[in-house]
Structure 1
Amino acid sequence: MKLEKFKSGRHQQRYQYKSFEPNSINQEWSWDDPTINTLLEQANKSLGELNAFSLIVPDIDLFVRMHIVKEAQKSSKIEGTQTEMDEALMQKEQIQPEKRNDWQEVQNYIKAINIAINKLNNLPLSVRLLKEIHSLLLQGVRGEHKQPGDFRTTQNWIGGSNLSDAVFIPPHAENVNDLMGDLELFWYNENINVPHLIRIAISHYQFETIHPFLDGNGRIGRLLIPLYLIDNKMLTKPALYLSDFFERNRSSYYDALMRVRTSNDMIHWIKFFLNGIIETTKNGKKVFTSIFELDRQVKNKLTTLGRRTQQGNDALNVLYKNPIISAVELGSALNISNPTSNKLIRDLMKLDILREANDKQKGQLYVFSDYFKLFL
């Protein structure tokens, strides 16, 4: 199938509305537009350079956690949650009661990402895995009664208050299983020659168009991107997430997806997607480079602690995982007493490594601000 000749689907009359029934995507894809070749080359090169960091950085998992938290916060924000990055790192009791539901959605997303990535060590990416992630995503939050872990059996819609004024109406529930089966076959079809970044660009569009769940489709669809790249060995660690790019370009993101459905313009969507890969990987490389330099500077400061330098380095490893922390949390992580933890925090504050959090309503918290700011 030439991208230039692609037909996205058809509208089918239902009772008082028309659903959009997408065409299958499990086929050979090619294109004439040379811009796609150039963008694809740049995206693959930049992605490979980002992945190289995960192979050479000691203790890379310390830093990957913040990438995961940022992805969860940004992806959830696209869906309307109000949890900020600092709040995503806090404990539930430190969150204002009226914001805890949003906070829990972000925590569920963090948990779902980590579990999904761990499962990829033993199982391939699959529809079954997406269902498991979806079940975790909706656990104990709004949407918990919307068939968590199962494809929808009723009609849903995007935008508007009901089917009569919806911006987009996905395929009828009776077609969801077949469409998702076709999508899964596309991921593993070895009889077609389609580059992985093109496959996942088309796959993300198709998933969001099928909208197989009653809730959580945006977040699952965006999580599908790094899972696919990890499953196909294009990423060793989950260091690439596009939700920040999508959130900053939200209108263009939605418009690009809709243009495929309304104008068959898959080329525009793929260009947007590849530009997102290029920009996000470049930003990711800058973050890792900044972490290297920050780590060198901070460890130089810690040498001034003398015999307590090792304790300072242990604290630093904790702060890389959670740069917003209380004295009790730090003490628990290091298995030291509260007085010792408080003294260590005072030492780190004197070295300008830690600072007091501004919002005292959330309890006495301390921020590894130079590190935290790298992810804003």
Structure 2
Amino acid sequence: MCDNPSMVNAIPNTRLGRYVETAVGGEIVRAFVPPALPPSPPINVLPLLTKLSAAERALGRLDGITMLLPRHDLFLYMYVRKEAVLSSQIEGTQSTLTDLLRFEAAAEAGQPFDDVREVSNYVDAMMYGLGRLDELPLSLRLIREMHARLMDGNRGGDKNPGEFRRSQNWIGGTRPGNAMFVPAPPNEIDPCLSDLEAFIHEETSGLPPLIKAGLLHVQFETIHPFLDGNGRIGRLLITLYLCTKGSLQAPLLYLSLFLKSHRSVYYALLQSVRETGGWEGWLAFFLEGVAETANQAFDAATQIVELFKADRDRITADSDRAGSSLRVHDWLQSNPFVTSNVLVEQIGLSAPTVNAALADLERLGIVTEITGKRRNRVFSYKSYLDILSEGTAPL
């Protein structure tokens, strides 16, 4: 950060990027090529310090409680699925968290298969990327590998999964000529992506990791290097980067609920960066989102811990078959939709014992049978789902 205004004025303004004309579908359009990061003149961090501090405190608090959770892997398992639903909803799918969990549990069908498959692929891409960070740096190669898994077998499967585009795309509108935004043409993508990868690993700018994460997200969205799936990969890039920098110990920061709730402001700020170089306005919004999202995840973790303890205490005190009921309750914590057949197979209890335990949990108000059938019944852990599902109604 430069504190001398005269020095700032002496630095050439290269924040605005450049437009190049390109022919698409018989018309000439202006495509935007962003400048390399970091921005010049440099980001004025001083007005952002209050929001930056609040965001860092919220991340630290979230890390603290997740490390204290009896089963923080379980919270991660569920929260990743919530993020997958929200991120996919921004792209137009109508699946809910309930649909995804029922799909994974092979219970009753929810939304159309294609929608649920897209969300399931997002979970797979996310967990793959997080796992690969142990052996591969955050890089263009990893981004391509994640994209291949994201697009595998779904409605974007014909749009070059795992490959950067070699044709022009656009955002908004019915064709490039009336689009809201036209990203860089194919021949400009490789240099832009090389600059992006270099910025991921540079150490000379001195920018805090949260600021860099905000810059990386917008740059990736502006380059828009894939034919489909850019938004989902670009949002995941935030969390992956913060994990590599140690700003997050567990990958639990996902901004999709915040961006879904403020999507008109989000899109306007992305355009402002492209049109005016207004990075500081975007970063203020981004840091607010980090703090709000981390605090929401902290609250959800706290509620879940309290719910599990209260229900276990109730089972212990009021159940006639506490041992088997507690084993079923333990399974429900990672599988909030369940059938008796699955329980017999997975936890090693007999069918009569499982059915008696489910009846006991239903009597205590802990599970609810959701099919109304006498056979092939499905039970849900509704109170748990209510906490997890907050904010996940389709757009």
Same fold (TM over 0.5): yes
Q: From the superposition, tell whether residues 332 and 225 of structure 1 become closer, same or farther in structure 2 (CA, over 3 Å).
A: farther
Displacement of 1:337 in angstroms is 3.4
Structure 2 match to 1:278: 291
Cα shift readout 1:310-343 (whole Å, capped 9, x = no counterpart): 4333323322212122222333331333333222
* Residue number among 106, 115, 124 corresponding to 2:137 in the alignment: 124
Answer yes or no: is the 8 Å Cα contact 1:303–1:309 preserved in 2.
yes
Structure 2 match to 1:38: 50
Structure 2 match to 1:374: 387
Q: From the superposition, tell whether residues 91 and 338 of structure 1 become closer, same or farther in structure 2 (CA, over 3 Å).
A: farther
Alignment partners' CA distance in 1, 2:262 and 2:371: 30
Larger Rg: 2
Aligned length: 375
Structure 1 match to 2:87: 75
Secondary structure, counterpart of 1:153 in structure 2: coil
- The reply on whether 1:12 has 2:24 as its aligned counterpart is no
- The reply on whether 1:265 has 2:278 as its aligned counterpart is yes
Answer yes or no: is the 8 Å Cα contact 1:29–1:194 preserved in 2.
no
Q: From the superposition, tell whether residues 308 and 205 of structure 1 become closer, same or farther in structure 2 (CA, over 3 Å).
A: same
Alignment partners' CA distance in 2, 1:71 and 1:85: 9
**1:1-376 → structure 2 map (5 Å cutoff):** 7-15=15-23, 16-26=28-38, 30-32=42-44, 34-91=46-103, 94=107, 96=109, 99-304=112-317, 308-357=321-370, 364-375=377-388, 376=390
* Percent of aligned pairs sharing the same letter: 36
Answer yes or no: is the 8 Å Cα contact 1:67–1:239 preserved in 2.
yes
Cα shift readout 1:57-105 (whole Å, capped 9, x = no counterpart): 1211111111111100000000000101210111276565871001100
Answer yes or no: is the 8 Å Cα contact 1:76–1:105 preserved in 2.
yes
Secondary structure, counterpart of 2:76 in structure 1: helix
Alignment partners' CA distance in 2, 1:30 and 1:36: 13
Q: Which amino acid aligns with 2:16?
A: S
CA RMSD of aligned residues (A): 2.3
Answer yes or no: is the 8 Å Cα contact 1:327–1:338 preserved in 2.
yes
Q: From the superposition, tell whether residues 315 and 94 of structure 1 become closer, same or farther in structure 2 (CA, over 3 Å).
A: closer
Cα shift readout 1:142-200 (whole Å, capped 9, x = no counterpart): 11011100100111111111111111100011121221111111111122201000001
Bigger drift between 209-218 and 115-124 goes to 115-124
Cα shift readout 1:24-51 (whole Å, capped 9, x = no counterpart): 0147874446431110111011111111
Alignment partners' CA distance in 1, 2:344 and 2:63: 34
Q: Which amino acid aligns with 1:21?
A: V
Bigger drift between 196-205 and 166-175 goes to 166-175
Q: Give the helix-richer structure, 1 or 2.
A: 1
Alignment partners' CA distance in 1, 2:180 and 2:107: 38
Q: From the superposition, tell whether residues 311 and 113 of structure 1 become closer, same or farther in structure 2 (CA, over 3 Å).
A: farther
Displacement of 1:307 in angstroms is 8.2
Displacement of 1:265 in angstroms is 1.0
Q: Which amino acid aligns with 1:182?
A: D
Answer yes or no: is the 8 Å Cα contact 2:44–2:280 preserved in 1.
no
Answer yes or no: is the 8 Å Cα contact 2:118–2:150 preserved in 1.
yes
Answer yes or no: is the 8 Å Cα contact 1:26–1:189 preserved in 2.
no
Cα shift readout 1:263-288 (whole Å, capped 9, x = no counterpart): 22111111110000010011111111
Bigger drift between 197-206 and 162-171 goes to 162-171
Secondary structure, counterpart of 2:183 in structure 1: coil
Q: From the superposition, tell whether residues 338 and 258 of structure 1 become closer, same or farther in structure 2 (CA, over 3 Å).
A: farther
Q: Which amino acid aligns with 2:156?
A: G
Give TM-score scaled by structure 2 length: 0.89
Alignment partners' CA distance in 1, 2:129 and 2:327: 28
Q: Which amino acid aligns with 1:50?
A: L
Secondary structure, counterpart of 1:201 in structure 2: helix
